[in-house]
Amino acid sequence: MTFTTRRKVRFQHCDPAGIVFYPRYFEMINSVVEDWFAEVVEHDFNRLHVESGTGVPTASIETRFHAPSRLGEVLEFRLTPLATGRTSLKLRVTAYRGDERRLTSDSTLVFVDLASGRPLPWPDAMRRHFAMDSQ
Amino acid sequence: MTFTTRRKVRFQHCDPAGIVFYPRYFEMINSVVEDWFAEVVEHDFNRLHVESGTGVPTASIETRFHAPSRLGEVLEFRLTPLATGRTSLKLRVTAYRGDERRLTSDSTLVFVDLASGRPLPWPDAMRRHFAMDSQ
Amino acid sequence: MTFTTRRKVRFQHCDPAGIVFYPRYFEMINSVVEDWFAEVVEHDFNRLHVESGTGVPTASIETRFHAPSRLGEVLEFRLTPLATGRTSLKLRVTAYRGDERRLTSDSTLVFVDLASGRPLPWPDAMRRHFAMDSQ
Amino acid sequence: MTFTTRRKVRFQHCDPAGIVFYPRYFEMINSVVEDWFAEVVEHDFNRLHVESGTGVPTASIETRFHAPSRLGEVLEFRLTPLATGRTSLKLRVTAYRGDERRLTSDSTLVFVDLASGRPLPWPDAMRRHFAMDSQ
């Protein structure tokens, strides 16, 4: 149940030390979550945010950077759902170059109504795509 | 001689008005130039910057935004070399969604030695890939 | 009638060549325009965008980068209105370090209704702050 | 021993939901760490990275976002050193608007030689500024 996609380390991601500046990793991680919602959960971010007035803000995120990534490298990102709550979702995202793990990031998203900011229960149409590995 | 690539308008590109925040377009444009150097000029940015100690800073850029782009749209970017100087290169980048042009950006890059900041003549190995439309 | 503010060149602005990555300059320029709207035009971007449902998208921008800027430098940005149209505004932004000019950027903003994207005439409460140098 | 600084939530930080896009918080957090190194540790990032060939990459970071921040708000960031290792440093950064805490971020930095990527012991000239609250 792991979703996989790739990102190239671009000039815009790298700092004066020639390695990825860590806030740019969070842009990549968010884009991986975005692709997963579009391709696996079948609710793209435009539909979620603009048409439905809902959002999936990140409530917490815990990330370890195992080794630096350099300009021009292609990273494989893997996203796995870890646990589903009534209104929340815990995800693990890892990035690899070949066999070398570059980062591990565990985050908790919450499904919210954008106008009120209040958590909403996941609709079944979304929840049924959050299949866990044990299923 | 036009190089074409696509970019999806992501959450990270959009502002509170729900459209692309224009500085993000320049990240996209730079990434298109980066791909063109890697795929057409056959000198990727890692080789250029890290291995060779050279760079291609943008000396000037002039951009018109014809219509806004929205979350989830896929834009087609087209890059065409316009003119080559001894140490510089003029490029046009346009972005389209379907038939609708979203931006036109003309820029001048300069080939420089990173340590001194001084312009360098383009090596023939690069220059021969800057073929103009008329050639 | 020139508005002046400062920006420090931060780690997040710099590329693997150790100089400001030009898309980051546009973030700085936009933040200078944002400060000018808040402090001089007396309409901050929250009031404009969120409360009033209006926006000031950039229709075109033409920028020359005269010399690179490096990590830790403090740049002085100067904003001068150049011309006011019924629904548009032309601005010049320059950045200096000491006497050395780093960039010159001329842009045209348009006042729009966010819902329709249509241009709106500048309200007098805003327009009266667009005083030109010759006035 | 807490270092305090402020950041305005700017247009460039906000997403289509009108709140800070969380990767932008990491740019703010990094800039707070940057200011602390310059003002408290008395080693600015230019001296560290460019002149000394050293760096302080983030090895891990764990962040909770307690409440969203909106365009135009001014956040107070507070940085407190939590623990010092031979080559590492644990920091807590919090952000408040008034009494409301917006985020809590605990990170571990490592002092490294940029060329080799190897950890280095903190020089005494830096370490003596990492005074903990209990001291």
Residues of chain D contacting C46 with CB distance shorter than 8 Å: 70-72
Residues of chain B contacting D14 with CB distance shorter than 8 Å: 15-16
Quickly list DSSP for A12-35. Answer: GGB-TTSBB-HHHHHHHHHHHHHH
Asked if D11 has any chain B CB less than 8 Å from its own CB, the reply is yes
Question: Cα separation of D56 and D45, whole Å?
Answer: 9
A11:C21 CB<8 A? yes
Question: Cα separation of B119 and B41, whole Å?
Answer: 18
More confident residue, D59 or C18: D59
Say which CATH number the domain at A25 has.
3.10.129.10
pLDDT in tens, A77-91: 999 999 999 999 999
Q: Are C23 and C76 in contact (CB under 8 A)?
A: no
C92 phi and psi, to 5 degrees?
A: -115, 130
Asked if A58 has any chain D CB less than 8 Å from its own CB, the reply is yes
Instruction: Convert D60-73 to b/e letters by CB count within 10 Å (16 or more is b).
Output: bbebbbeebbbbbb
Quickly list DSSP for A50-112. Answer: IIS-EE--EEEEEEEE-S--BTT-EEEEEEEEEEE-SSEEEEEEEEEETTEEEEEEEEEEE-E
pTM reported for the whole predicted model: 0.96
Res. C128: pLDDT tops 60: yes
Question: Cα separation of C32 and C11, whole Å?
Answer: 19
Q: Which of B11, B34, B47 sits opposite A11 (nearest CB)?
A: B34
Instruction: Convert A58-89 to b/e letters by CB count within 10 Å (16 or more is b).
Output: bbbbebbbeebbbbbbebebbbbbeeeeeebb
> Residue C90, SS3?
strand
Q: Are B53 and B120 in contact (CB under 8 A)?
A: no
| Torsion sign across C-alpha atoms C115, C116, C119, C124 | negative
Q: Which of A15, A23, A71 sits opposite C14 (nearest CB)?
A: A15
Asked if C27 has any chain A CB less than 8 Å from its own CB, the reply is no
Q: What secondary structure letter does DSSP report for D70?
A: B
Asked if A47 has any chain D CB less than 8 Å from its own CB, the reply is no
Instruction: Determine which helix (DSSP H) or strand (DSSP E) holds D59, and give its type and residue range.
Output: strand D58-65
* Residue bearing tokens 């010759």: C134
pLDDT at A49: 87
Count of CB atoms situated within 10 Å of the CB of C98:
9
Asked if C11 has any chain A CB less than 8 Å from its own CB, the reply is yes
Report the complex ipTM: 0.95
Nearest alpha-carbon partner for C74 in C52, C96, C99, C101 = C96
pLDDT at A132: 65
Res. A7: pLDDT tops 80: yes
- Domain limits for position C60: 3-134
Q: How many domains does chain A have?
A: 1
Residues 6+ apart with CB under 8 A from A53: A113, A114, A115
pLDDT at B135: 42
Q: How distant is the Cα of D84 from the closest Cα of chain B, in angstroms? A: 33
pLDDT in tens, D89-122: 999 999 999 999 999 999 999 999 998 999 999 9
pLDDT in tens, C67-125: 999 999 999 999 999 999 999 999 999 999 999 999 999 999 999 999 899 999 999 99
| Torsion sign across C-alpha atoms B72, B76, B82, B85 | positive
Angle, alpha carbons B6-B10-B16 (nearest 5°): 135
A11:B18 CB<8 A? no
Instruction: Return the residue of D nearest to A54 by Cα.
Output: D17
